Amino acid sequence: MKAMKENIYCAHWEGPYEWDSYREHQVTEHVLYAIYGSHHLYGRDVLLYIGKTSSGIKSRMREHDRWVADEYDTMKVRFASVGIFIDWDDWNDGERYPKASPPIVNAIEALLIYAHQPAYNSQSLSSFPTARGFRILNTGRLGHLLPEVSYLYYEL
C-alpha cells in the first residue's frame, strides 16, 4: 500500500478572550476560532464550538452573539491563524501567519471538528473527507485542543 503524503499545517492559537472583549483582539489573519464555556454534561470551560471565519471574522462572530448571550456562564474564545509547517524552529515563534486560503481553512476546520467533536458542532462532521492528506499542529494558547491531529488517525 502506498503511503499518503501529508500537508502539514500549523494553527497558532491566541487567547482566551472573554466574549465581551473579543472584538479588541480580532485581526484579519485569524481564520479559525474555538468557543469555550459551560456545558450541562461536560462541565465548565469546555470546547463547545470550532469555526472558520470565511465570511470575515467580525461578521462570523456576530452570528454567535445571539446564542452566546443565552449561556449561563462566561464564554471565552480563542483565535488562530494558519500556515504551512516549515520546521521545529517555527513551532513557538508566536507570530501570526498570513491569511490562509479558503480550501486550506475548510480542510483544517473539518479535521479539528472531527478530531475534537465539540458539543455544539454537528453539521460539519460530514466535511471530514475534505481533510484528506492533512496534519495539523496546534500551537500557542491551544486550550483543550490536541497538539497534533492527522486525517490518517481517523481514516476508515
pTM (two decimals): 0.89
- pLDDT reading at 94 higher than 70: no
Cα distance between residue 116 and residue 114, in whole Å = 6
Q: Quick one: which H or E segment has residue 115?
A: helix 102-116
* Helices and strands, counts by H and E, the chain: 3, 6
Query: What is the total residue count of the chain?
Result: 156
- Order of strands across the sheet with 43-52? 43-52, 32-39, 76-84, 7-18, 134-140, 148-150
Query: Percent of the chain scored above 70 by pLDDT?
Result: 91
pLDDT-derived band at 104, boundaries 50, 70, 90: very high
**pLDDT tens across 19-77, in order?**
887 777 878 899 999 999 988 877 788 999 999 987 667 777 778 778 777 778 888 99
